[in-house]
């Protein structure tokens, strides 16, 4: 899981990066429920941080004007934002799809990723419900999606959507090859639930501000501690569910007579969606060979197990190697 920290200015962006944030997400908390930062603020952040670090842009709740939104998305591309998030509240589904498709066209030629966003508490505002997120992102040709909240009264994401529903949505998003992100007044106490859901990105603000107050400034020490706690769960030092690592040296599976052999997929450096895509591609071209997949992130092993079970593939062994990665042997 990557840590995304919402920032309002260059000073906060630098604090977030020094604390270990993977993504700084520039937004304006004073504009309506959530809005866009001034383009010069985005430019200052993008110019000041290394190109290899992620700087995303949030447009917040966008109007039902596809051309206007596409123009804002185009500006994000010009500013070399890593991604731009387009959020919908009181928008009909078809209108949201049209807007995203206009945004997709506006980003042609840019590296900026298009992220569709719905809010878990949209029903409070007679808005488009978040369970449309995956269909909307696919129809709108998004690179990924984010589920957030608008309510800032102490309730958070899990007050509006249960862990099980979010887990299913994240798995579906990964199987579709999209990045998945969850945000919405998340705190340290929510980390076990988040780790079980295992989105690609976790977005926070209040939890990494001074005294936990989202209107205060982002502080590097708070960012560092949140990042450390994420790492503890990703590496399995803090377990968030029953262990699924099975005993064995991983070499006790042998190809059967009708097997095509033994294939290794190295998931190092890949997202979970990338690992699942590689597995699907391998089985599509060769449904006989045993597959040993190397999974560097403990949390992603659960996603691969669910993927295998849903497709009736057999997980024969799991083991930790000397690097701490999990090696899983799968028989299609």
Residue range 265-285, pLDDT digits in tens:
999 888 898 999 999 999 999
Answer yes or no: 27 catalytic: yes
pLDDT, tens digit, for every residue of 293-311? 999 888 898 899 999 999 9
Catalytic choice (43, 85, 113, 270): 85
Has this prediction a pTM greater than 0.85? yes
**Residue boundaries of the structural domains of the chain:** 2-234, 262-331
Q: What is the pLDDT of residue 30?
A: 80
Pick the CATH number of 262-331 from 3.20.20.80, 3.40.1080.10, 1.10.760.10, 3.30.110.40: 3.30.110.40
Mean pLDDT within 61-67: 95
Q: What is the pLDDT of residue 251?
A: 37
pLDDT, tens digit, for every residue of 217-261? 999 999 999 999 999 999 888 888 765 444 344 333 333 434 458
- With tokens 């990338």, the residue in question is 274
Q: Taking the domain 2-234, which CATH number applies? A: 3.20.20.380
Answer yes or no: 85 catalytic: yes
pLDDT, tens digit, for every residue of 98-115? 999 999 999 999 999 999
């Amino acid at each position: 899981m990557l840590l995304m920290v919402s920032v309002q200015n260059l000073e906060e962006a630098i604090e977030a990066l020094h604390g270990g944030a993977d993504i700084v997400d520039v937004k304006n908390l004073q504009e309506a429920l959530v809005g866009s930062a001034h383009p010069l603020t985005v430019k200052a952040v993008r110019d000041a941080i290394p190109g290899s670090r992620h700087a995303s842009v949030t447009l917040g709740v966008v109007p039902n004007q596809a051309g206007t939104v596409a123009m804002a998305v185009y500006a994000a591309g010009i500013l070399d934002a890593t991604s731009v998030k387009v959020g919908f509240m009181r928008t009909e589904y078809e209108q949201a799809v049209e807007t995203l498709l206009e945004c997709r066209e506006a980003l042609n030629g840019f590296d900026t990723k298009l992220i569709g966003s719905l809010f878990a508490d949209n029903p409070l505002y007679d808005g488009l419900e978040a369970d449309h997120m995956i269909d909307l992102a696919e129809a709108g040709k998004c690179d990924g999606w984010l589920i957030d909240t608008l309510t800032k009264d102490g309730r958070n994401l899990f007050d509006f959507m249960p862990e099980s529903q979010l887990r299913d949505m994240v798995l579906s998003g990964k199987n579709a090859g999209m990045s998945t992100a969850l945000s919405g007044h998340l705190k340290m106490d929510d980390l076990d639930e988040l780790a079980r859901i295992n989105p690609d990105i976790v977005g926070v603000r209040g939890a990494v501000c001074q005294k936990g107050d989202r209107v205060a400034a982002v502080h590097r020490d708070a960012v560092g501690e949140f990042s450390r706690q994420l790492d503890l769960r990703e590496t399995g030092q803090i377990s968030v569910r029953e262990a699924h690592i099975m005993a064995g040296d991983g070499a006790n599976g042998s190809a059967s007579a009708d097997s095509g052999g033994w294939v290794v997929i190295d998931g190092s450096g890949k997202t979970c969606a990338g690992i699942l895509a590689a597995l699907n591609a391998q089985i599509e071209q060769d449904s006989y060979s045993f597959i040993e997949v190397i999974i560097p992130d403990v949390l992603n092993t659960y996603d691969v197990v669910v993927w295998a079970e849903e497709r009736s593939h057999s997980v024969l062994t799991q083991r930790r190697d000397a690097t701490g990665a999990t090696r899983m042997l799968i028989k299609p």
